[in-house]
Amino acid sequence: MIKDLAWLFGFMLRGTFRKRSSWMLYLGLPVVGVLTSVLLYSGTQSPPLRVAIVNEDGAARIAADTAAYVGGLREVQVQELGREEAKKEIASGSLDVALLLEPGFSAAAAAGHPQGIALESVKGASVTAYVKSMLDAYLSNVAAISRAADGDGAAFEAMYAAYRDGAFKLTAESARDTSVARSMSAQAIGFLILFMLMSAVNLSEMLLKSRENRTYLRILSSPVPAGTYVLANTLVNLSVMAVQIALALGVMRFGFGIDAGMPLAELGALLLLFGLVSVSLSLAIVAFSRSSAMASALSNFIITPSCLLAGCFFPASIMPETIRRIGDFMPQRWVLTSIDALQSGQYADIPLHIAVLLAFALVFFLAAAFKLGRSDDTRSFV
């Protein structure tokens, strides 16, 4: 049996990759999926906010400090311009927002009633909201100092100097933002799951095509059992998927430097388990199809909608509750949830997820075995 199995394995593998288009279908599409996810998330980093500061209050200290405060904000680029020049830059789109500090602004702020300050932008509140909120907090502190001084100029100057110099120091440490990398890897894995399912059905269709062209009957005329033929097809299927997984993860990690947030070995093992589910589902589709055309139509009806409901193309968190509950009946959802659990360190949930995936594979295999065992009629294949 081992010798027959090895010969059938090589025979199917050579038949699968005889055409150049097969190389693109089975090995090129996973790489395309990774590249697509990189392109989708390559523009998610927001550019810095470009701010023009128009200081018409001269060398007044509060005005100068306000301009310096805005310049010190994160993700903000500032330049000092005149009023007319700033209007032209705003209108042309070269700048996002202009901060106007009119004459008398510093005196009004010191009196506890900040006036003579304005933000101008043609892009609306979506651009000015960040700078406005930070300025409100800053000027509220200045107004509080003014109220505490109660009209005493010397007291105000002393308290304001202490506030500006900062008796309390803040030490900040930067943490690497992994949200974009995790979203990118989740999208790439979602595409990989889709391509694995498509590849599994295409490879399992060899069973139908071999019946249609009578190759199956010629092989069975030899002492090769039908179960060995199906097992060889299953092994070819799993081998191709293993290569797809290794190629996609390798390109994702070493080609584009995408960190999946978990060891590649664990991610690969989960995807191989899903590969088993994919093969079992493809065998069930083939078993319930009377021709390769029917199998293709049935796979299109099942694979893409189920991937959509499971969250392979976009996060399930943005779906309505009803759709999310429907997606729980899809094996794709369980492998994606398992990956998310590993990324979050929730290892206690993994055994349940693996058990559910194995249950999916078992149900599909049993359905395929039952139907194939009762479908011995080859007269419908012309």
Tell me the pLDDT tens digit for each residue of 306-361. 988 888 887 777 888 888 888 889 999 999 888 888 887 788 888 999 999 999 99
pLDDT reported for residue 381: 39
Q: How far is CA 337 from the centre of its chain?
A: 13
This prediction's pTM: 0.66
In the numeric block, the tokens 């199906």 are attached to: 230
* Token pair listed for 27: 């090995």
Number of domains in the chain: 2
Last residue of a domain, one of 117, 138, 163: 163
DSSP strand pairing (117-120 vs 97-101)? antiparallel
pLDDT reported for residue 94: 82
185-243 pLDDT tens trace: 888 888 989 999 998 888 888 877 777 666 666 665 666 666 777 888 889 889 999 99
For range 8-32, the mean pLDDT: 81
Query: In this structure, are residues 331 and 302 in contact, taking their beta carbons and an 8 Å threshold?
Result: no
Query: In this structure, are residues 309 and 190 in contact, taking their beta carbons and an 8 Å threshold?
Result: no
The SS3 of residue 323 is helix
pLDDT reported for residue 313: 84
**Domain containing 82: what range?**
47-163
Alpha-carbon distance of 382 to 365, in angstroms, equals 27
* E-strand stretches of 67-180: 76-80, 97-101, 117-120
Vertex 67: Cα angle to 63 and 70 (nearest 5): 140
Higher pLDDT: 23 or 333? It is 333
pLDDT reported for residue 78: 84
Is the same domain home to 137 and 262?
no
Q: At 55, which CATH number?
A: 3.40.1710.10
Amino acid present at 247:
L
The mean pLDDT value of the chain amounts to: 81
Is the same domain home to 196 and 295?
yes
Alpha-carbon distance of 335 to 181, in angstroms, equals 18
Phi, psi (rounded to 5 degrees) for 170: -110, 125
Report yes or no on 42 lying in a domain: no
pLDDT band at 280 (very low <50, low <70, confident <90, very high): very high
Last residue of a domain, one of 163, 193, 215: 163
Is the same domain home to 155 and 59?
yes
Query: In this structure, are residues 124 and 106 in contact, taking their beta carbons and an 8 Å threshold?
Result: no
pLDDT band at 172 (very low <50, low <70, confident <90, very high): low
Report yes or no on 58 lying in a domain: yes
